[in-house]
Amino acid sequence: MKIGIADTTFARVNMGRFAIDELKKHSSVTIERYTVPGVKDLPVACKKLFDEYQCDICMALGMPGGKEKDRMCAHEASTGLIACQLMTNRHIIEVFVHEDEAADDAELAWLAEQRTREHAVNVIKLMRPGTLEREAGTGQRQGFSDAGSARQ
């Protein structure tokens, strides 16, 4: 299996480094990294990772700002990532950390690392069919605490 990592220079944390480190802890897959300026460039980066680098699955890592304009850009990027998934029939795990999710820079850096690492584990689980079924309905969250199941 080959995993593509698409990340941005706009992010204030090197999310790609965390993803690669976590993936290497859990498997011996080949990893291709493609860095672009911002989140709206991520759909093309993932498409290139699929088409030109023959990746089987991708992670799209980005850190939109905290303003309304940034939320709109993140939404547009998400729409492009969904289109790319449909065009290629391959998963893209979107890992966005919005700057306004954290109270300060320290929490922002912590959240970006946690969310990226937890989603990297999800990528490994997706590569092993049936693995995620055991977690269905358990309220998993990436970054902050899990919500837990609504049914006990």
Give tens-digit pLDDT for 122-136: 999 999 888 888 888
List, in sequence order, every beta strand (DSSP E) within the chain.
Answer: 2-8, 30-36, 57-62, 92-96
Answer yes or no: is 114 within a domain.
Answer: yes
pTM for the predicted model, two decimal places: 0.92
Answer yes or no: is 11 within a domain.
Answer: yes
**Separation CA 82–CA 93 (nearest Å):** 10
Answer yes or no: is 146 within a domain.
Answer: no
What is the three-class DSSP state of 131?
helix
Which tens digit of pLDDT belongs to each residue from 6-47? 999 999 999 999 999 999 999 999 999 999 999 999 999 999
Per the structure, how many domains does the chain have? 1
Tokens 């919005």 found at: 98
CATH of residue 74: 3.40.50.960
